[in-house]
Structure 1
Amino acid sequence: MSDGLNAYNIEYKGGEFRICLKDPKATFYHDQDAIAISLPILFRQIIAITILSSTLTLILKPFHQPRFIGDIIGGIILGPSFLGLFRKYNDIFLPFASATILESFTYLGGVYYVFLVGLEMNQTPILRISRKAMAVAAAGIVVPLAVGFGTYFLIAPSPAPNGPPMGPPGPPKAKTAFLWGVALTGTNLPELTRILADLKLLRMDVGRTALSSAFLSEIGTWMFLAIVITTAHDRFLAVAASSIGFILMSIFAIRPFLSWLIRTTSDPEEDYKETHVHFVFCGVLLFGFISDGLGLSSIFGAFLFGFILPGGHLATAVRERLEKITSWILTPLYCILLGLKCNFQLTAQGVSAANAALFIVLSWASKFFTTFFVALRCQMAPRDASALAVLMNTKGMLSAFVINIGRDYKLLIVENFTVMILTLVVMTATVPIIIKYAYKPQKQMTVHRYKSIQSTGIDSPLRILVCIHSARDIRGTIYLLQLSHGTRQYPIRVFAVHLVELTERTSATMLVVQGAYRSNSTRSTRAIAEAESEQIVEAFEEYQMESDNTVTFEALTALSPYATMHVDVCSIAEDKRANLLIVPFHVQGGADANADNISSSARMVNQKVMAYAPCSVGLLVNRGLGMSNQGVTCLIMFFIGGPDDREALSYAWRMSALPEVHLTVVRFIAGDHAEPMVKTTFDLLNEERGSSTLITMQDRQEDLDEEFMGDFKYKTMNNNSISYTEEVVNNGEETLRCIRNNMEQHPYEMCIVGQGDQQTSPLLSGLSSLVEFEELGPIGDAIATSNFAPSCSILVMQQYYNRALRSKKADNDKPADLFI
């Protein structure tokens, strides 16, 4: 006997069957077609599986489904239930000879995946988890464990009418029931975090409670999994004793030894060497080998090694090198292999459809009702409690590992394995759909008057939210905050938000502690974050200590896809009642900055933030701000008119209160030869005496400009640190020439301008059509793209004036959908 590709022979000799693989040294030119050899078959399988996995992920993405779902569905399509029904397909893609190679390769991916899971699981976040999350997690472990034990008997193999039992009687059936209960206890943290991020629930109380509860439930599931593996052996007492000893030795002996070894073999001033990373990779395999030898699965050993490996820069370096290959290839292969092992034809023969459906419903309901009633007892609103109950049904790789290990240890047959995998898929797939369409959190918007610097005043407390894309944004942002004139009486409240793209490789643990980066956070707490986040936190903490109580600081992390990152930023700004939101321009450096520094994703985030921000926005073009050694910081502000220019002058006016700052204000006045302004927009104003008059919006803005400039000149007439001049111009060319002349006369460190909806201004005629970066406005763009002030940073201000009008500039996004 042999398969369709003649890759093996089955012989009967000496009373037993033997499977003989053919010569692996065969080539295209000798003895046998090399395509039939295992390695080329594995390559074909990886290519086909990767293409199918990516395709299904794209198809399911609009339904907010995690990749885990698409991968398993892909495996089911490739398996014996669908394409596997065709013999020719099996001979080409799934020959018998490749089964061992494919399973070993995917199992290696599973080993490194759980190592990364363990690497992210740190003991420190447990200390900050609320009692509510602990109660939800505890109830979500105990009750589903009991319900899972009972519901298993709905699909348990029953004796055939005229034959031997279909499954082993007695204790093994009880072990299998316990195995399913363990699979139900877990709520998969990585999959849950991505669902919450996709649905914008991370910063909601529901999302934070779900994350913390999932974190604890994962730890509980790992503990129960160790019990399952231990009891699956005949000599379980010996296996249990050796396993407990290995775990305790790893935590209390090997972990301190690893910490000492890392400190003594690395230079704290330099990055870790590649040899450190290589030894970590080998340590994963070593722990897997030891745990396998003790009777535990190598999966558990890999998780344990990741759990005890000290966090910090080394853990970050290991994760960066391993996550791409793991998340893109190895993990999808493992999930698809689970689908390949499913066989719905055999399941239909052994398990009735009604029992399978009831099994799925009871499994889903056990977690839902348990979480729902516990959340109600913890004073949660019924709507939030129901949403939390749905979220806790999120399954993923951990539950899949439990079921697959049960099959490897012969606790499950194909029929039961298939129903359990299908149950995991249904439970997880229903979560984002239900939350998306049935749960609309009623977020109460914070109503506060002071959403701009002009309305706040120059001698009032200021709340500034600054966005940081990378560590290169830190220096310029902090120097700008130093110029913002905080005092002990009126300190500046700074909220630093690190913007991190949410991808398949993003650390899930960062989301659990994203709100924990406070000024009093400990180094051990921050060690679990990315190295860049830690660097940002340390820089702002140092700035706070040097500020002499004129600044208070709070750091947060916004993890989101770039397409929806502006929603998180604007939501945080609304929650924190910010007066000003500062974002870094996507091109840093001089006018001849390398194009490689341009990030289209960061630019898209900036544009949407400026369109939907609930407060004023400052867009900072950093060209070495704060690196000058001059004793006096010279600033220049160009004023044309409008709300954005008034906001820019208000901020510059506030900066001029610092003794080391000199401010030059240049106001442009329309000359006799300027083109008349087109006035088409009307506004209804109520006069003081009760009469009403229709005047143009332009006339109203001119009146506001005159009133504001009159107040500015009156209050600063005796201030030697402020210089005020007026320039008469007739068009955009004369305006730009005047700007060039002023900036070439003195090396200003920063220029402050308004973004402005000034296309109708005659002072800008000819400039608007040449704008390259619309978010900078005509003046800001002209300065940023010119070469007459290559070392002068630019701050473009946009006043919170009419977000509904500004939002029309966004890429077809609806303002009503901003806050969900």
Structure 2
Amino acid sequence: MFAAMVAALLKVGAAVGIAGAFGMPLNDGTSIGLLLNTKGIIELVILNIARNKGIMSDQLFMVLVFMSALITAMVSPLLAMVVKPARRLVFYKRRTIAWPHPDAEFRVLTCVHVPRDVPALLTLLDVVSPSSCSPIGVHALSSPENAVGVTARTMAAVLPYASMHEDITSAAENQHSALILLPFHKHRPVDGGLEVSHPAIQSLNGSVQRFSPCTVGILVDRGLAAVPGAGYCVAVLFFDGSDDREVAAQATRMAKNPAIDLTVLRFVQKGGSFTASEFDALKEHKADDGFLREFLNRANEGGGATVEYRERGVLNASEMVAEIQSVEAMGNKDLFVVGKVPGASALTAGMAEWSECPGRRGRSVTCWRPRTSRRRRRC
């Protein structure tokens, strides 16, 4: 029994030594050494043959079988101690759109279920204004066309919808993505309106939002993609909180695009705060002010989008919806970018009755709509 334990330790030590010699992490070497000690059916067959041929006694056979089972049973807990689930514990700073170095690569993971998902995603990337100075790294399930400042890497996955969110979130962690872009669970057919693409996609999107390590955007495509490089009219709706600060960060990137007409509409509640705690409300308000101030400073640098900033004081959800409808009624908006606030706001809490597709908590939502004016672009 002692000899078996010594042999097991020697295997681990040899694997660690080899790992060190080849520059591998010591944890990997320890893991390999532990895995080398696992026993299977072949070892038991060999031991049984040796006992039948009289090479070993029944007592020795029982001892070796017991040690094989013991060492194999110990491997799993020892591996759990040595190999932490590093992927789940990795902290990467580029988890959000609000990265302090805007000129660094903006990493986006896009998910494509069918070919019709691609055109609108490509158009959205064009709106975000990729360039050689502020590049975008795209990891996609299908191969998008390359544009200036866009590096595309493709992956293929054949998975059941029930577990697909695990691979999506894992890919985002491995690639240090700042944004996951998901297609909406409904698409626009030829006769207009919206119809469900696949009943499982809505649940999948909700699971990705729950377990995602970074910001999630859901792209609601109301038509075909516009021609890359064409002009776009974008409306950004800002309420309050961390989700909307991600929206402001996205707007900051869009403000670099000279082909964009950008309107940022901020809603402020009259006579009250957005949260129950006044202290928390003050912190959120200061953070919101800082983000919007940075956005306006960058927008005023010139050479980018035409930017209009408005603030609207409203008393309740009804007034806020009326303001949004007035913006939509103008009929010249290609894209609405909206954050998904987890119900803390007195304004957004009353919007459930207007919701066509109630969803679960997420970080941000991107909605793509077609233009209805003479300058309309199909998205």
Q: Do these two structures clear the TM 0.5 threshold for a shared fold by scoring above it?
A: yes
C-alpha distance in 2 between matches for 1:377 and 1:792: 63
Q: How does 1:499-518 map to 2 (within 5 A)?
A: none
| Equivalent in the alignment of 1:493 | 137
Cα deviation digits, residues 689-722 of structure 1 (max 9, x gap)? xxxxxx6322211111122222323443465611
**Correspondence for 2:194:** 593
Q: How far apart, CA to CA, are the structure 2 residues paired with 1:460 and 1:571?
A: 22
Q: Which amino acid aligns with 1:696?
A: F
Q: RMSD of the TM alignment (CA)? A: 4.0
Alpha-carbon distance change, 628 to 556 in structure 1, aligned in 2, over 3 angstroms: closer
Structure 1: how far apart are the matches of 2:377 and 2:13?
60
Alpha-carbon separation, structure 2, partners of 1:788 and 1:553: 28
- Identify the residue that residue 177 of structure 2 maps to in structure 1: 578
In 2, distance between residues paired with 1:788 and 1:492?
Answer: 26
1:754 is matched with 339
Relative to its length, the structure with more helix (as a share) is: 1
- Structure 1: tracts of 5 or more residues without a match: 1-371, 395-429, 499-535, 681-694, 795-820
- Helix, strand or coil for the counterpart of 1:641? coil
- Aligned partner letter, 2:84: Q
Bigger drift between 706-715 and 721-730 goes to 706-715
Q: Pick the aligned partner of 2:123 from 472, 479, 484.
A: 479
CA distance in 2, matches of 1:553, 1:393: 46
Aligned runs of 1:638-649 on 2, under 5 Å? 638-649=237-248
d(CA) in 1 for partners of 2:276, 2:97: 28
Give the equivalent residue in structure 2 for 1:551: 150
Question: CA separation of 1:625/1:457 partners in 2, compared to 1, >3 Å: closer, same or farther?
Answer: farther
Question: Residues 732-753 of structure 1: CA distance to partner in whole angstroms, max 9, x if unpaired?
Answer: 1111111111112133111101
Give the letter aligned to residue 29 of structure 2: A
Alpha-carbon distance, 1:457 to partner: 4.4
> Which residue number corresponds to residue 220 of structure 2?
621
SS at match of 2:326: helix
Query: Counterparts in 2 of 1:766-805, with a 5 A limit?
Result: 766-768=350-352, 770-771=354-355, 772-775=357-360
Q: Does 1:702 align with 2:285?
A: yes
1:664 aligned residue (237, 250, 263): 263
**1:442 counterpart letter in structure 2:** K
Q: Do the aligned partners of 2:216 and 2:365 also contact (CA within 8 Å) in 1?
A: no
**Conservation of the 8 A alpha-carbon contact between 2:251 and 2:295:** no
Q: Distance in 2 between matches of 1:778 and 1:464?
A: 15
Residues in 1 aligned to 2:122 and 2:75: alpha-carbon distance in whole angstroms: 39
Comparing both chains, which one has the higher relative contact order based on Cα–Cα distances under 8 Å and sequence gaps of 6 or more? 2
- Deviation digits for residues 388-416 of structure 1, max 9, x if unmatched? 8979989xxxxxxxxxxxxxxxxxxxxxx
Change (3 A) 1:631 1:668: same
* 8 A contact 1:750–1:792 mirrored in 2: no
The TM-score with structure 1 as length reference comes to 0.35
Partners of 2:137 and 2:344 lie apart in 1 by 37
Please state which structure has a larger fraction of its residues in strand. Answer: 2
User: 1:711 is matched with which residue: 291, 294, 306?
Assistant: 294
Residue identity opposite 1:711 in structure 2: E
Q: Is the CA contact (8 Å cut-off) linking 1:620 and 1:793 kept in structure 2?
A: no
Instruction: Work out the CA distance in 2 between the residues paired with 1:383 and 1:636.
Output: 52
Aligned counterparts, 1:97-496, within 5 A: 379=19, 381-384=29-32, 387=35, 440=80, 441-445=83-87, 446-496=90-140
Q: Tell whether the 8 Å contact from 1:580 to 1:618 is kept in structure 2 after alignment.
A: yes
C-alpha separation in 2, matches of 1:600 and 1:447: 33
Query: 1:462, CA displacement in angstroms?
Result: 0.9
Q: Is the 8 A contact 1:622 1:793 kept in 2?
A: no
How many pairs are equivalent?
Answer: 319
Q: Report the CA distance between 1:600 and its aligned residue.
A: 3.1
- CA shift, 1:639, in A, is 0.8
Is the Cα–Cα contact under 8 Å of residues 247 and 364 in structure 2 kept in the other structure? no
Would the alpha carbon gap of residues 456 and 676 (structure 1) be closer, same or farther in structure 2, given more than 3 Å must change? closer
Distance 2:333 2:230 in 1: 13
Cα distance in structure 1, aligned partners of 2:349 and 2:195: 30
Displacement of 1:645 in angstroms is 0.9
Report the AA paired with residue 703 of structure 1.
Answer: K
- Residues 568/434 of structure 1: CA separation in 2 closer, same or farther (3 Å cut): farther
* Residue 679 (structure 1) aligned with residue 276 (structure 2): yes
Contact kept in structure 1, 2:179 and 2:216, CA below 8 Å: yes
With the length of structure 2 as denominator, give the TM-score of the two structures. Answer: 0.71
- Alignment CA distance shift 1:725-1:704 (3 Å): same
Larger radius of gyration: 1
Structure 2: where are the runs of 5+ without partners? 1-11, 20-27, 43-68
Q: Which amino acid aligns with 1:465?
A: L
Query: Quick one: distance in 1 between partners of 2:228 and 2:156?
Result: 33
> Does structure 2 conserve the Cα–Cα contact (< 8 Å) formed by 1:589 and 1:624?
yes
Give the stretch that moved more between structures: 479-488 or 730-739.
479-488
- Give percent identity, aligned residues only: 23
Question: How far apart, in 1, do the equivalents of 2:322 and 2:364 lie?
Answer: 12
The aligned residue for residue 4 of structure 2 is none
Summarize the Cα distance change of 1:449–1:589 in structure 2 as closer, same or farther, 3 Å threshold. same
What secondary structure sits across from 2:188 in the alignment? Answer: coil
Q: Amino acid of the residue matched to residue 749 of structure 1?
A: D
Match for 1:739 among 324, 330, 335?
A: 324
SS of aligned partner of 2:245: helix
Partner of 1:104: none
